[in-house]
Amino acid sequence: MMDVVEIQKILPHRYPFLLIDRVTQIDDNQKLVGFKNVTIGEQVFQGHFPGHPIYPGVMILEGMAQAGGILAFKSMNMTEAQAAEKVVYFMSIDKAKFRSPVRPGDRLVYEISVIKNKGAIWVLQGKAFVDGNLVSEAELKAMVVDK
C-alpha cells in the first residue's frame, strides 16, 4: 500500500533512523500494518551485541511509533505539504513488553490499532510480530504538532 518512498513523504525520519520499510494495510482511524526487514548491515548491531546481534527493544518501540505516526497522518487526511509541516511527539509509552529477541534476518511486522483519538491526540496499541509470534507490545500516546 505504501513503499519507503511514499513513507518518506509523510515521516521526517531518514537512514539510519527510518524504521519502517513498507505499509501493507491502512484502515483510517482504525489500524495500520507494516514491516521492517531487520538486517545485519544495520549500524546498531555494531554494539548490540558483538557476536550476539539482538535488535534493541527501544528500536522496536520507535518503529511502532513511526507506524503510528503514519496512521495518524493518513487518518487526518493531510496532504503531503501539510504533513511536511507537522511532526508526531510521543507523550508516553506504557505497558511495554518484550517477549522474545529479534535478530538479523527477521521481518518485524507492526500492527498498530487506534484505542482513542481526540483532535491531535492519539492513543495507540502497538504490537510487533516475527513469523506470526508476538515479540513486543506497548500502548503509545502521541500528539501531532506543528514543526
Give the CATH number, domain containing residue 89. 3.10.129.10
* Long-range contact set of residues 77-80: C-beta below 8 Å, sequence gap at least 24: 77/28, 80/9, 80/10
For residue 13, what are the domain limits? 4-146
pLDDT tens digits, one per residue of 59-86: 999 999 999 999 999 999 888 888 889 9
Which residues of the chain are under the pLDDT cut of 50?
none
User: Per DSSP, what are the bridge partners of residue 110?
Assistant: 34, 128
Q: What are the catalytic residues?
A: 48
Q: In this predicted structure, what is the pLDDT of residue 32?
A: 98
How many structural domains is the chain composed of?
Answer: 1
Q: In this predicted structure, what is the pLDDT of residue 69?
A: 93
Name the burial class of residue 102, with classes exposed (0-12), middle (13-18) and buried (19+) by CB atoms within 10 angstroms of its CB. buried
